[in-house]
Structure 1
Amino acid sequence: MDMVELAMDAISDYGYWALGVSLVILAPEALMPFAGFLAHEGLLNLWLSILAGSLGGTLGSALIYLLARRAGEGRMRDLVRRHGRWVLVRESDLDRVLGVYARRGDWIVAGGRMIPTVRSLVSIPAGLLPMPWGRFLGLTFLGTFAWNSFLGGAGYALGAHWSALKPYLGVYGALMMAIVLLVLGIFVIRRLLEQGIKGQ
């Protein structure tokens, strides 16, 4: 039995608390459609499920934010200066990322909650800047609530067929991962080419 199945059993037995705690560490795509199904069956309230899941997801993101904030921009810059060449990251890359966050951070923090993999990563530059704590929590909750509403609502609408949503979410997650890997691949190739030119 994997963690998702254990979480589903816990949600069936303990309801909203188990849902919120599970979504501190697990992806909402794995559990919110199931919570929507339970709401369809009258075992949970849909909106309370969405609220519990969103609070749990926000807490998980907040923990990553706090770790990044504790590390601080200075420590991160020092790490990049000393070891960045091994992962092809320069201090100018960190400047670029933080610059984008300074200009578009609100949109990225809220919208990133709907993208697998990215959802955890967006908390790091937000913590390094740092984005004000209250704004970070508000935007994170807003984006998480919107995505959980879609997932929970879809599970509710599908009823007993909620698991039919899984293949579509799998394709969506795979597509987002492919885009992230493509961008990362382009970055690595460009950086290797730059280093090759400088080495000649």
Structure 2
Amino acid sequence: MDEFVRSLMENYGAFGIGLLMFLENIFPPIPSEIIMPLAGYQAAMGQMSIITVIFAGTVGTVLGILPWYYLGYFFGEDRIIRLSDKFGRWMTMSASDVRAADRWFRRYGYWAVFLGRLVPTVRTLISVPAGLAQMPMPAFLLFSTIGSLIWTSFLAFSGYIMGQNYELIDGYVGPVSNIVVIGIVLLYIYRVATFKPENRRPKAKADL
């Protein structure tokens, strides 16, 4: 996996990191916990500056959460839950996940968008209730960008620090990252295999 990120950076530079982070928020084949540390690690190797890595990762993240915001803004809760029943198996998103993000947003308000970027279980889905509540876009972008910047910076600097100790950990980075990715793929397969649509709460009829 570290070879994949390395080749992506060599071929596409900051755009490749931003693209990966964008896709990670749309569909999570590779989590940010893998992408950004490895990008930071490569920055320490001189491929690009750590500031560029953080900027690219933050921009990619913010762009990746916008579709979820507009999903909530235009579809409404009933339709989103219907979508989760239909396609949640592949999106690893159940109706209970949507409701949990909605409760988080109702409890913390706008701050939920900021705090949610730091919590793996709600980091992407918190955009849905923000859209449902029609949170003003400037506020949504501000809180999302600050939270995403903190998260990507933390991950990138962790990889950057590892890169500065290259001689000590070079033999471990590749195998460890591969093990983590394999574990994530197996978890995804398990969720797909065991996914069951949930009974929806009775609400007013809404067509997709």
TM-score by length of 1: 0.66
SS state at 1:121 partner: coil
Contact 2:114–2:147 under 8 Å retained in 1: yes
Q: Which residue of 2 aligns with 1:133?
A: 137
Contact 2:43–2:160 under 8 Å retained in 1: yes
Q: Which residue of 2 aligns with 1:62?
A: 66
Assess, with a 3 A threshold, how the Cα gap between structure 1 residues 97 and 25 changes in structure 2: closer, same or farther: closer
SS state at 1:114 partner: coil
Q: Structure 1: which amino acid aligns with 2:23?
A: I
RMSD over aligned CA atoms reads 3.7
Matched, 1:16 2:14: yes
Counterpart pick for 1:31 among 12, 32, 35? 35
Q: Which residue of 2 aligns with 1:196?
A: none
Which runs of 5 or more residues in structure 1 are unaligned?
80-86, 178-187, 189-200
Structure with greater Cα Rg: 1
- Alpha-carbon distance, 1:100 to partner: 5.6
Assess, with a 3 A threshold, how the Cα gap between structure 1 residues 38 and 88 changes in structure 2: closer, same or farther: closer
Q: Structure 1: which amino acid aligns with 2:162?
A: L
Matched, 1:118 2:122: yes
User: Residue deviations 1:158-188, cap 9 Å, x none?
Assistant: 1133839x68xx6xxx9xx9xxxxxxxxxx9
Matched, 1:46 2:61: no
- Alpha-carbon distance, 1:12 to partner: 2.9
Which residues of 2 match residues 1-200 of structure 1 at below 5 A? Answer: 6-26=4-24, 27-72=31-76, 101-102=105-106, 104-159=108-163, 160=166, 161=169, 163=173
SS state at 2:110 partner: helix
Larger helix percent: 1
- Alpha-carbon distance, 1:111 to partner: 1.5
CA distance in structure 2 between the aligned counterparts of 1:67 and 1:114, rounded to whole angstroms: 21
Contact 2:37–2:160 under 8 Å retained in 1: yes
CA distance in structure 2 between the aligned counterparts of 1:129 and 1:8, rounded to whole angstroms: 40
Q: Structure 2: which amino acid aligns with 1:144?
A: S
- Alpha-carbon distance, 1:42 to partner: 1.2
Percent identity, aligned pairs only? 32
Q: Structure 1 residue runs of 4+, over 6 Å off?
A: none
CA distance in structure 2 between the aligned counterparts of 1:63 and 1:144, rounded to whole angstroms: 16
CA distance in structure 2 between the aligned counterparts of 1:114 and 1:131, rounded to whole angstroms: 19
CA distance in structure 2 between the aligned counterparts of 1:8 and 1:70, rounded to whole angstroms: 38
- Alpha-carbon distance, 1:63 to partner: 1.2
